[in-house]
Amino acid sequence: MALPYKAVPLVAPGHTRPVTHLSFSPLQDDGTYVVISSCKDGNPMLRDWTGDWIGTFIGHKGAVWSSKLSPDTSRAASGSADFTAKIWDTYTGECLQSFPHNHIVRSVALSPSSSHLLTGGQEKKVRMFDLSRPDAEPDFLFDGAGALSHEGTVKSVVWVGDHTGVTAGEDGQIKWWDLRTRTLTTSLTFPNPITSMELSPQTNRIVVTSGKTVSFIPALLNGPQTHSLTLPYAPSSASIHPILQDRFVTGSTSDEWVRIHDVAGEEREVLKGHHGPVHCVEYSPDGEMFASGSEDGTIRLWQTTPGKSYGLWQGVPANGG
């Protein structure tokens, strides 16, 4: 997997504080996609598939820890340290709805039809809001008789299929919930806190980092076996190639590098460019690039195949001249 050409990232500036989370939209009918970034500056940003800035969502009064896009990209959801989750119109930038919480919101997830919103955070509670009834009280996902969803901060929530929620906590637990009955279906326990959990929709897997492990888990626990690897470092985030499924990328808060590993865990490339720890990485839905977000306040876009013409990258001439 050695690259014939040096990987030259595109740098997407604009944020003024550390970038905490990145999320790509699905591939749209015209072959394009967008990406939304969360940042401690409190202003999520939307960019097109080339990395060009589209707009900034203004309204949060604290760090934004998570933001996600609806499948058709018309809506965005965000969760913030200002104790709110918000729904945005991605065309106008207008805040459509704001849902108060009692503590920091660390993660949000929209349902496939954009009818409902899941949130989780430092209250250790997972809420489900009905966006058609914004004044109604949310439903809570409680584990057993206790009034909590997790024993630690909820680090990530994802929505799988029509009616499954998956939540991950600093308690080391990943929990699957039936959102129709709001009941716990099953759970997995890791020996260390979960540091990240993202849904890889094309591979139908959940990608989890915890301690020095990265795990690729069937999203509904009904597919191939869970594949776990132990790395020589603690990854902050990981993303599997959505098409080839033969490699994954990671970030780490212990250095400033982005790494590419094969599925056996062997390190294939180390990409240098950031000037601070890397908090988040994610592949684009077409697998042509991946994005990394860092403590340095920048987003860097990296080609899967350096030298290829794609977006703003002008490829290397065939004759090398």
What's CA 303's distance to the chain center, in Å? 19
Mean pLDDT of the chain: 95
Please report where in the chains the tokens 């913030």 appear, as a residue.
80
The pLDDT of residue 165 is above 50: yes
**pLDDT for residue 318:** 54
Give the pLDDT confidence of 234-269 residue by residue, as tens digits: 999 999 999 999 999 999 999 999 999 999 999 999
**pLDDT for residue 321:** 41
Is residue 141 situated within a structural domain? yes
Give the pLDDT confidence of 82-138 residue by residue, as tens digits: 999 999 999 999 999 999 999 999 999 999 999 999 999 999 999 999 999 989 999
**pLDDT for residue 317:** 63
CATH code where residue 48 lies: 2.130.10.10
pLDDT tier, 320 (very low <50, low <70, confident <90, very high otherwise): very low
Give the pLDDT confidence of 132-142 residue by residue, as tens digits: 998 999 999 99
**pLDDT for residue 143:** 86
pLDDT tier, 191 (very low <50, low <70, confident <90, very high otherwise): very high
pLDDT tier, 219 (very low <50, low <70, confident <90, very high otherwise): very high
* Strand-strand pairing, 235-240 and 267-272: unpaired
Compute the distance between CA of residue 239 and CA of residue 206 in angstroms, rounded to an integer: 9
Q: Are 112 and 71 in contact (CB under 8 A)?
A: yes
Kindly report the three-state secondary structure assignment for every residue of the chain.
Answer: CCCCCCCCCEEECCCCCCEEEEEECCCCCCCCCEEEEEECCCCCEEEECCCCEEEECCCCCCCEEEEEECCCCCEEEEEECCCEEEEEECCCCCEEEEEECCCCEEEEEECCCCCEEEEEECCCCEEEEECCCCCCCCEEECCCCCCCCCCCCEEEEEEECCCEEEEEECCCEEEEEECCCCEEEEEEECCCCEEEEEEECCCCEEEEEECCEEEEEECCCCCCCCEEEECCCCEEEEEECCCCCCEEEEEECCCCEEEEEECCCCEEEEEECCCCCEEEEEECCCCCEEEEEECCCCEEEEECCCCCCECCECCCCCCCC
Give the pLDDT confidence of 34-64 residue by residue, as tens digits: 999 999 999 999 999 999 999 999 999 999 9
Domain that holds residue 23: 8-301
Q: Which amino acid is at 156?
A: S
**pLDDT for residue 142:** 93
Compute the distance between CA of residue 176 and CA of residue 256 in angstroms, rounded to an integer: 33
pLDDT tier, 5 (very low <50, low <70, confident <90, very high otherwise): confident
Compute the distance between CA of residue 46 and CA of residue 15 in angstroms, rounded to an integer: 11
Domain count for the chain: 1
Strand partners, 114: none
Is residue 310 situated within a structural domain? no
Listed in sequence order, the residues at least 6 apart from 122 whose beta carbon sits closer than 8 Å to its beta carbon are: 103, 104, 106, 153, 154
pLDDT tier, 204 (very low <50, low <70, confident <90, very high otherwise): very high
Is residue 315 situated within a structural domain? no
**pLDDT for residue 263:** 96
pLDDT tier, 145 (very low <50, low <70, confident <90, very high otherwise): confident
What's CA 204's distance to the chain center, in Å? 15
Q: What is the pTM of this model?
A: 0.96
The pLDDT of residue 175 is above 50: yes
Mean pLDDT across the stretch 3-7? 76
Per-residue CA distances from 107 to 136, 281, 301 (Å) = 21, 16, 23
Is residue 320 situated within a structural domain? no
Is residue 278 situated within a structural domain? yes
The pLDDT of residue 214 is above 70: yes
Mean pLDDT across the stretch 6-28? 96
Mean pLDDT across the stretch 7-21? 95
Identify the weakest region by mean pLDDT among 139-153, 169-183, 201-215, 273-287: 139-153
Mean pLDDT across the stretch 62-83? 98
**pLDDT for residue 225:** 86
pLDDT tier, 147 (very low <50, low <70, confident <90, very high otherwise): confident
